[in-house]
Amino acid sequence: MNRPYNFSAGPAAIPAEVLQQAAAEMLDWHGSGMSVMEMSHRGKEFISIYEQAEADLRELLAVPPEFKILFMQGGGLAENAIVPLNLSRAGTVDFVLSGSWSQKSAKEARKYVADAHIAASGEDSQFTTLPAPESWQLSRGASYVHICSNETIHGVEFQELPDLKALGCDAPLVVDFSSHVASRPVDWSRVGLAFGGAQKNLGPAGLTLVIVREDLLGHALPACPSAFDYKTVADNQSMYNTPPTWGIYIAGLTFQWIKRQTEGGLTGVAALQARNIAKADLFYQYVDQSSFYVNKVAANCRSRMNIPFFLRDESRNDAFLAGARERGLLQLKGHKSVGGMRASIYNAMPIAGVQALVEYMREFEQRNA
């Protein structure tokens, strides 16, 4: 079945194979007589789904044994409160502002911490640049340092995670990797905790992934809700309360899809990384040689997942979007705070989708330039 190409920033496109398998298993999962949505989370059927999903994710992202994988609810925005409730010890936390999502994280943390200190900010450049780690003003004794490693709205991505130790900082690094999780490998030696909603690269909304180093557990503030205390969640294998069972199941199918991906001799996340680089290069190269479209983000921090771009003549925006829709190129309108267009090209977007978009943009440019 030929489906349109969906460039939504999230909830976002899911691989057709995953949706087809979920559809085939909808009424009767593996002869159990039940849909996954109807199963007890404590029954052997669901436990097997959960254990497989966890093991596959651990393998795909090479998560070391000293890290716990938690499947939670609440999304990235809830984590903006849950992380300080668990890790801040009500002390000082450092934030690097690289766009809207890290700004929101700092604002929320202020409710729980003594000082949400801004160690660096790209705001002066309207978040088109990323402050170099060497320039960050890190606090002595901070409980953790928070970054958003891919800013979904501003299209800014850390090409590599900062090495806090090399900057003379012992604090753990907290990473919001909501919008590029599983798009590239993770250097866990630089990370204390990473979190992300599933609805971009892993599956449906409603599932939040948290991967946290064991030694950071057990320090929650007294006011932290039990269901959001990472230690409680970890001690109960993410089943202290009812976990988002459907989300875990679809994420599990997505992990198996990722394991099957190959690209130039690579497999899994490495294959996706190679494909994501090729997709992003194709798009940026076209935009950069065009005098009709523009992307304003500095080349060293351009996102491979979310590409905001503008027509230099914005009066043509509506015509551009209408023509795109007619071609089966969906959800390209930019975020309301930034305007213009945004192409989100997550793992599930094949290179053919980016080729189709670039071809349409070229034709639109030729017709309207």
200 tagged catalytic: yes
Least CB distance to ligand PLP at residue 319 (A): 27
29 tagged catalytic: no
Q: Does 148 bind ligand PLP (CB under 6 A)?
A: yes
User: What 3-state DSSP class applies to 47?
Assistant: helix
By beta-carbon proximity to ligand PLP, the closer residue of 95 and 101 is 101
By beta-carbon proximity to ligand PLP, the closer residue of 244 and 340 is 244
Q: Does 152 bind ligand PLP (CB under 6 A)?
A: yes
Determine which one of 56, 101, 136, 229 is catalytic.
101
Q: Does 176 bind ligand PLP (CB under 6 A)?
A: yes
Stretch that binds ligand PLP, among 47-55, 73-81, 83-91, 294-302 (CB under 6 A): 73-81
Q: Could you say which DSSP state residue 25 is in? A: T
Stretch that binds ligand PLP, among 29-37, 69-77, 165-173, 339-347 (CB under 6 A): 69-77
Stretch that binds ligand PLP, among 74-82, 129-137, 250-258, 311-319 (CB under 6 A): 74-82
By beta-carbon proximity to ligand PLP, the closer residue of 8 and 21 is 8
By beta-carbon proximity to ligand PLP, the closer residue of 238 and 344 is 344
Would you give the end-to-end CA distance of the chain in angstroms?
35
Stretch that binds ligand PLP, among 44-52, 172-180, 250-258, 334-342 (CB under 6 A): 172-180
Q: How many other β-carbons are positioned within 10 Å of the β-carbon of residue 77?
A: 15
How wide is the angle at C-alpha 16 spanned by C-alphas 341 and 24, nearest 5°?
A: 145
Q: Does 276 bind ligand PLP (CB under 6 A)?
A: no
When binding is defined by CB under 6 A, the residue of 98, 178, 295, 344 that contacts ligand PLP is 178
Strands (E), 268-345: 293-294, 306-311, 329-330, 341-344
Q: Could you say which DSSP state residue 91 is in? A: S
366 labeled binding residue: no
Q: How many other β-carbons are positioned within 10 Å of the β-carbon of residue 351?
A: 14
Q: Does 75 bind ligand PLP (CB under 6 A)?
A: yes
Report d(CA 165, CA 144) in Å as an integer: 12
Least CB distance to ligand PLP at residue 47 (A): 26
Determine which one of 29, 68, 94, 176 is catalytic.
176
Distances (CA, A) of 159 to 149, 243, 299, 304: 8, 32, 10, 9
152 labeled binding residue: yes
Q: How many other β-carbons are positioned within 10 Å of the β-carbon of residue 229?
A: 20
When binding is defined by CB under 6 A, the residue of 46, 101, 228, 360 that contacts ligand PLP is 101
Of 101, 5, 1, whose CA–CA distance to 346 is shortest?
A: 5
Report d(CA 158, CA 338) in Å as an integer: 20
184 labeled binding residue: no
124 tagged catalytic: no
When binding is defined by CB under 6 A, the residue of 76, 84, 133, 172 that contacts ligand PLP is 76
Least CB distance to ligand PLP at residue 362 (A): 29
Q: Which residue pairs from 128-134 have beta carbons closer than 8 angstroms and sit at least 24 positions apart in sequence?
A: 128/154, 128/156, 128/296, 128/297, 128/298, 129/156, 129/297, 129/298, 129/301, 130/98, 130/156, 130/158, 130/298, 130/300, 130/301, 131/96, 131/98, 133/162, 133/163, 133/167, 134/167
- On whether the CB atoms of residues 172 and 211 are closer than 8 A, the answer is no
What positions carry a catalytic annotation? 101, 176, 200
- Binding-site sequence positions for L-glutamate: 42
Residue ranges in contact with ligand PLP by CB under 6 A: 10, 75-77, 101, 148, 152, 176, 178-179, 197
